[in-house]
Structure formats: C-alpha cells, structure tokens
Chains A and B, each alone.
Chain A
C-alpha cells in the first residue's frame, strides 16, 4: 500500500471538486434550499375549497346551509346557478373543486320531515384531494344536521385519536428523512459515477493506471472526498430542519450520523458500480439518475406508504437502500428509538454496503488491466 500516493490522489480529487465553484455551491446549497423550500411548500393542508352551488329553489334553508359553508372560512362559493349544467365546464377547466346540488324540493321536504335530498359532486380526478374535500363538506352538513336533530336520539362513540410520534401530522417531519436520503444519493452516487466515467471518457484513466496507485486506492481516493461532502450535506439538512422547522430529534444524533455514513457508503458503491458498467458520462448519468432518483422518491416510502403498494411490488422496495434509511431516520428522529429496534434495517444496509463495495471493486478491476 502506498499511502503517500493515495494521499496525493485524494488531494488532487479535492482540488478538482473545490476548483469547480459552481458545482460546489450547488452541492452545498442544495440540501438547505430543498429542506426550506419543501418544508414550506409540500403540504397537504386544505385551504380554499372552491364550491359551486346549484340551488333551483333558493330558500331560507338552502341559504342557511350555504352560509354555514362560507363561515367555515375553508369554503368559497365561486358560482351559484339554477341548473347543474354549469358544473361540468367549471370542473373541466379546474376552476371549481366541489358542487353542492340541492334537490328542488329541498326546503319543502325539510319542513315536512321527508328526507331532503342533497347531492355533493366532487372533481374526483384527484381522488385524494377530492375525498378530503368531501369529508369537510360532510362535516359541515353533519353539524348543521345535528342542530336540526334532537341530540338525545343518537348514539355516539367518541373516538379520541392520537397520532403518535407526529401528533400534528407535520409533513416536514416526514419529508426531512426522505430528503436527506435523496440528497445523499444524488451527491454520492451521481457524483462518483460521473467523476469516474469522466476519467474514462477523457482517457485520463489510463494515466491513473500506470501510476503506482492500486485500483482499490483509486476508488477510495474518488470516494473519500464525496463522503466528506455528503456528510456536510447531512449536517446542513439536519441543521435547517431543526432551526427552521423545529423537526424533533428524539433519538441519538450520533447514531443518526453514523447511519447516514453507512447509507452514503451504499450510495457511493452504487456510483462506482454504475461507472464501471457504462462507457460515457451521459450513460453513467442516465443510469445513475433513473436508477436512483425515481425509485428513491417513489419506492422508498418517502411519499407513498409502502403498505399501500400491491404485494408483488413490495419485494422491489427491498433493494432500494433509501427505504431502509428512511425507516432508520424516522425511527431515530421521530420515535427516539435506537439500535435495539433498528438493528434489522442497519444490518440490511451494512450488508448492502459490503456487497456493493465488493462488487464495485471487482467490476472496476478488469478495466484497469
């Protein structure tokens, strides 16, 4: 082992990274900007529900119900008309979310104790939001209804709900672990893949080959600076999450940082592997990107719960490193648990790291000889 040569090589790599100010700035700012941007923007609160009212026979009762909607401050009536034909164009253009359609006999039925009919139509092209809006609408009608009905005739089971570990369902708390996973993959996998394949494309890899460096040392030298960079990214992301959004850190920060390094190693190994199997920067980038970014956002449980996926798809998530890292990060940050509970996920990540590093070393070698 020629440690001196390795050191020189690492220094050269560091120079490469430090010289390119533009990339470096983006690299360092990215986690910060992302945590702040998405912390503020990625929400699923219900703010302003635009409602169309179809009221063929306006009456005290129908107007009363409408005013109930307005007074919630959540609903805004964007149009009122006599005929349901107005709904469709508004839905199609996306300028209304929900329609309240009164039966022509609504008020008279209400007085005569016949069932007064009311149709609620939602724009269900987004079923999620649509259902949420529907639930809000139902709640308003139910509270109006409760006033009409004598209370004592009903049976109530009052459900006291507690959202453990994240009582307000604050989305930042859930996104930060996922964002860290995403940024780490980006910095480590993509950067190493590109930086290695650049040497190949430019032919400087041959120069490295005749140097006294061993292939393993070249990999270590390429990987080390990015490990440091990735670590800096974890720190800034966590700091931003803590300082701006007061994301809780209930568990051990040291453990979280150690796990991040483990996860970074997996990503770095992935990057080396990608560079080994591709021939140009373009191909390397495309492989790294398609192989990491999309699976990491969609198959990791960051946005969509894994429990919701069809069972044949679940095994696919097992090979996504971010899936395990997100469980670990959420466990440490939100639940305050330690290795006694997270040992399985940690073990899986370690196995992935070892396997990928071994594979990367091996696949890299033949090209060097």
Chain B
C-alpha cells in the first residue's frame, strides 16, 4: 500500500507537471460538449424551396402559402419550368422543388384528388427525410382544409402504389358560400392522440448530450491510459520500474487510478454543463450515474491499459486505440439506433462497453431508471472491466519476465 501511494504521487505529479495537457484534458472536452451538444440535431429549421407552379390557381397558391406560413419552408425562387430549379439544386441553392401540375385545382374540384411533386436534395439524407415529413404534414393539413370547402362528390380516389398518400380527414361540408354546420360530423372514426414520454417536446439535444459526454470521457480516458505505459517503455523507464520490488498489480493500479479520477472529474464537469447549460432533465439518481461511471471507466481504461502493454510505441498505441474507439463509438448507438442494425451488428454491440454505458446514462438521466433497471448492463460492464484489467496485468507480467 505504501508503495502504491508513492507511485500514485509520482503519476499525479507527472500528469500535472504538463500544465498545457491538463488544461486540455479538462477544458477541451467541456468546450467540445458546449459546441457539439448544439450541433447534434436532425431537426431542420427552414428548408429552401423552389416552386414550379404550372397551375397558377388560387388552390395552388394556397398550398405554397401554407408551406411558407409554417416557417419550415422559405420560397427562394419560382418559375413555370423545372430546369432552373434543377440547376439550383445542383448548386445547392435550394433544398426542395415543389412541382404543381396544371389542372391541380380542377382535379381537386372534380375528383377530390390531385397530385403534386416534391423533389428533395437527398445528398443530405437525414435532412431530406425530415423535410419530407414536414411537407407531408402541411400538405395533409391543407387537403383537410380544402375538404371543408368542397361538396362531397361520389367518385373514388385512385391511389397509386409507390406514392406517399396523405389522407385527409373526412369532410361533409357544403361548399364555401353556404359553409356552416355539420362540423362535428367531420371527425375521423378513430381519434388518435400521441404522447412522447420522457421527452414530450421531442428535444433531440436531451438525447444526444449524455451520449456525447460519454464519448468525450471515453476518448480522453482510454487514450491517455493507452499512451501511459508505452511511454515509459519508449523512454526506457519501464525497465527501471520492473527491477523495483513493485508487484504487477500495484503498478497497474498506479497507472489506472489517476486517469480514472481525471475521467470522473471530467464527467462531473460535463454533467454540470449538461444540467445548467443544456438543461438536460436528470430524473434518475446521480449517485447511480457515478456508480455506473466508476464501473464503466474500469472497463474503458482497462482496454487502454491492455493496449498499452501490447504495443511498443506511442504511435502504435494511439492508432490501435483510435481504431478501436472509432468502431466502438460509431457502433454504440450514439448516432444511429442499434436496433436498426443488422443482427450480427447488434450482437457485436453487446461486446461494446460504450454502448452499455450510453444506454445506462440515457436510461437513468432521461427515464429515471433505477439500479434494478440497469443492473444487467452494469454487470456486463463490471465483467468487461475485470476481463480487460486481468488481461492487462497478465500481459504486463509476461513482458517483465
């Protein structure tokens, strides 16, 4: 124990001597959290729209007005031909082209069904999908509105497969001049209400900030431990240490604990930012978050230590770690849901400590999960920690001998 204390003191001194690095360790992740927490959203505020209106009727103008009134769309140009719109899209001057064919209004009046074209720039896939769903909602609402102005006509509407059909509510209104009563009868037979639990405003940031925090803590913690032992190897001081009467596990503990503490401090700072800058709801117990983090960091830093004992140079350590972290992060469910992945990838994700910890963080902070709810992932993390630390100690021992 005595030797562990001295060794720890040495490690802390070594880390804190490099002020620049300590500042970086502490500040950069927080700055990044502040910036990136704002970047991580799919919500599209306004899409630029080019209108090709060949109908020029009151109804077609009404549609454009509704789209604009939603503030989701802003018309950047219009012409009766698609060519300019297409060119604009190539030049990224517009995100959407709305095409309204001639006879739009006539078709609505006669057949109660008309067609519009919506061309989206899918170069940015996520944004295109979101923009499309906004447009579909607004167009659907407009169809509803039109229905109240129209007399029911007894012709069925053709529905071509492969198209997005936006159904509008059933309407029984007389045409607009005598439009009056009967409004009660126009409701749908089934009234669907929807509620988003845990995040009723559907604020994507609430979901992303805990995940980004995990990412930052993991990157810093794992890399720093991975570089640590190999640095002594490179400098030759490891051989000096190995002739001292230190036991292998004491040595490993001394290498592990400083970064474990630093990572926990960083997590604390990050949680403070999450709470007071991003106003992330924290429903669950904070001690539970720290408890899980303490276990998780053993696994994450254990991986770093193991890599450090395996490689010969810091350059190698960095590369191996970087590669592993990148795979871990991109497959952790941070950006794309794990449940959308193919089965083999979901199975692989079970071996990913980052995935488990992100899930724990999100469950505890956003949903108020209790220790019982997260017992299984925490157990898996503890197992990972034990495995990697044992591997690291054994690998180190092999080298010394």
Q: How large is the interface on A (under 10, 10 to 19, 20 to 34, 35 or more residues)?
A: 35 or more
Contact mask for chain A residues 134-171; partner B; CB cutoff 8 A; 1 contact, 0 none? 11001001101110111111111111111111110111
User: A121: CB under 8 A from chain B?
Assistant: yes
User: B219: CB under 8 A from chain A?
Assistant: yes
**CB-based nearest B residue for A144:** B190
> Smallest Cβ distance from B322 to chain A, in angstroms?
7
User: A290: CB under 8 A from chain B?
Assistant: yes
Contact mask for chain B residues 117-145; partner A; CB cutoff 8 A; 1 contact, 0 none? 11111111111110011011001101110
Q: B315, A198: Cβ atoms under 8 Å?
A: yes
Q: B336, A298: Cβ atoms under 8 Å?
A: no
A residues less than 8 Å from B146 (CB atoms): 155, 157
Q: B189, A145: Cβ atoms under 8 Å?
A: yes
User: A77: CB under 8 A from chain B?
Assistant: no
Contact mask for chain A residues 95-133; partner B; CB cutoff 8 A; 1 contact, 0 none? 000000000000000100101111111111111111100
Contact mask for chain A residues 267-291; partner B; CB cutoff 8 A; 1 contact, 0 none? 0000000000011111101110110
Q: A157, B116: Cβ atoms under 8 Å?
A: yes
Q: A158, B207: Cβ atoms under 8 Å?
A: no
User: A38: CB under 8 A from chain B?
Assistant: yes
User: A41: CB under 8 A from chain B?
Assistant: yes
User: A293: CB under 8 A from chain B?
Assistant: yes
User: B16: CB under 8 A from chain A?
Assistant: no
Q: A152, B152: Cβ atoms under 8 Å?
A: yes
Q: Which one of A127, A166, A186, A317 contacts B202 once the chains associate, using CB atoms below 8 Å?
A: A127
Q: Which one of B35, B119, B172, B341 contacts A43 once the chains associate, using CB atoms below 8 Å?
A: B341
Contact mask for chain B residues 332-358; partner A; CB cutoff 8 A; 1 contact, 0 none? 000111011110010010000000000
Q: A151, B156: Cβ atoms under 8 Å?
A: yes
User: B42: CB under 8 A from chain A?
Assistant: yes
> Smallest Cβ distance from B229 to chain A, in angstroms?
12
Q: A169, B129: Cβ atoms under 8 Å?
A: yes
A308 and B44 in contact, given A117-B191, A121-B195 (Cβ under 8 angstroms): yes
Contact mask for chain A residues 288-327; partner B; CB cutoff 8 A; 1 contact, 0 none? 0110011100110101110111100100110000000001
> How far, in angstroms, from A30 to B63 measured CA to CA in the complex?
49
> Smallest Cβ distance from A32 to chain B, in angstroms?
12
> How far, in angstroms, from A47 to B336 measured CA to CA in the complex?
13
- CB under 8 Å from chain A, chain B span 94-134: 95, 108, 112-129, 132-133
Interface segment out of the listed B157-165, B249-257, B285-293, B380-388: B157-165
A304 and B40 in contact, given A42-B330, A155-B113, A285-B227 (Cβ under 8 angstroms): yes
A residues less than 8 Å from B32 (CB atoms): 290, 294-295
A residues less than 8 Å from B63 (CB atoms): 157
Q: Which one of B112, B159, B164, B190 contacts A145 once the chains associate, using CB atoms below 8 Å?
A: B190
Q: B314, A20: Cβ atoms under 8 Å?
A: no
A-side binding surface: helix, strand, loop or mixed? helix
Q: B311, A22: Cβ atoms under 8 Å?
A: yes
> How far, in angstroms, from A93 to B169 measured CA to CA in the complex?
37
- CB under 8 Å from chain A, chain B span 30-69: 32, 35-36, 38-47, 63
Q: Which one of B166, B198, B220, B368 contacts A159 once the chains associate, using CB atoms below 8 Å?
A: B166
Q: Which one of B128, B168, B204, B336 contacts A155 once the chains associate, using CB atoms below 8 Å?
A: B168
Q: A123, B197: Cβ atoms under 8 Å?
A: yes
Q: Which one of B165, B204, B212 contacts A158 once the chains associate, using CB atoms below 8 Å?
A: B165
A residues less than 8 Å from B195 (CB atoms): 119-122
> Smallest Cβ distance from A183 to chain B, in angstroms?
9
Q: A305, B124: Cβ atoms under 8 Å?
A: yes
A115 and B189 in contact, given A123-B197, A158-B113 (Cβ under 8 angstroms): yes
- CB under 8 Å from chain B, chain A span 250-275: none
> How far, in angstroms, from A137 to B113 measured CA to CA in the complex?
24
A131 and B231 in contact, given A115-B187, A118-B190, A156-B157 (Cβ under 8 angstroms): no
User: A10: CB under 8 A from chain B?
Assistant: no
Interface segment out of the listed A218-226, A235-243, A333-341, A354-362: A333-341
**CB-based nearest B residue for A191:** B315
> How far, in angstroms, from A335 to B86 measured CA to CA in the complex?
11
> How far, in angstroms, from A159 to B133 measured CA to CA in the complex?
11
Q: B373, A92: Cβ atoms under 8 Å?
A: yes
A305 and B126 in contact, given A26-B319, A127-B199, A194-B314 (Cβ under 8 angstroms): yes
Q: B192, A330: Cβ atoms under 8 Å?
A: no
Q: A155, B150: Cβ atoms under 8 Å?
A: yes
User: A174: CB under 8 A from chain B?
Assistant: yes
User: B83: CB under 8 A from chain A?
Assistant: no
Q: B143, A313: Cβ atoms under 8 Å?
A: no
User: B303: CB under 8 A from chain A?
Assistant: no
> How far, in angstroms, from A106 to B142 measured CA to CA in the complex?
28
User: B313: CB under 8 A from chain A?
Assistant: yes
A residues less than 8 Å from B327 (CB atoms): 33-34, 37
**CB-based nearest A residue for B188:** A145
Q: B336, A44: Cβ atoms under 8 Å?
A: yes
Q: A41, B331: Cβ atoms under 8 Å?
A: yes
User: A188: CB under 8 A from chain B?
Assistant: no
B residues less than 8 Å from A303 (CB atoms): 40, 126, 335
A159 and B314 in contact, given A122-B195, A138-B192, A289-B219 (Cβ under 8 angstroms): no
A169 and B122 in contact, given A22-B311, A153-B152 (Cβ under 8 angstroms): yes
> How far, in angstroms, from A279 to B18 measured CA to CA in the complex?
9
User: B92: CB under 8 A from chain A?
Assistant: yes
> Smallest Cβ distance from A240 to chain B, in angstroms?
16
Q: A41, B342: Cβ atoms under 8 Å?
A: yes
- CB under 8 Å from chain A, chain B span 301-316: 311, 313-316
A45 and B160 in contact, given A92-B368, A157-B116 (Cβ under 8 angstroms): no
B residues less than 8 Å from A278 (CB atoms): 20
Q: Which one of A43, A144, A280 contacts B340 once the chains associate, using CB atoms below 8 Å?
A: A43
> How far, in angstroms, from A283 to B24 measured CA to CA in the complex?
8
Q: A161, B164: Cβ atoms under 8 Å?
A: yes
> Smallest Cβ distance from A30 to chain B, in angstroms?
6
User: A366: CB under 8 A from chain B?
Assistant: no
Q: B315, A194: Cβ atoms under 8 Å?
A: yes
A166 and B164 in contact, given A91-B198, A92-B369 (Cβ under 8 angstroms): no
User: B276: CB under 8 A from chain A?
Assistant: no
A residues less than 8 Å from B368 (CB atoms): 92
> Smallest Cβ distance from A252 to chain B, in angstroms?
15
7 more A-B residue pairs beyond the given contacts A161-B163, A310-B38, with a C-beta to C-beta distance below 8 A? A138-B192, A148-B189, A152-B152, A304-B39, A308-B45, A308-B127, A341-B92
List 23 A-B pairs, Cβ < 8 Å. A92-B370, A93-B363, A94-B363, A110-B190, A118-B191, A125-B197, A127-B196, A127-B199, A127-B204, A127-B206, A153-B147, A154-B169, A157-B108, A159-B136, A160-B118, A163-B122, A164-B121, A174-B124, A280-B21, A286-B21, A289-B223, A290-B28, A303-B335
The 7 residue pairs across chains A and B that have the minimum distance between CB atoms? A124-B196, A163-B122, A305-B127, A127-B202, A166-B122, A155-B147, A41-B345
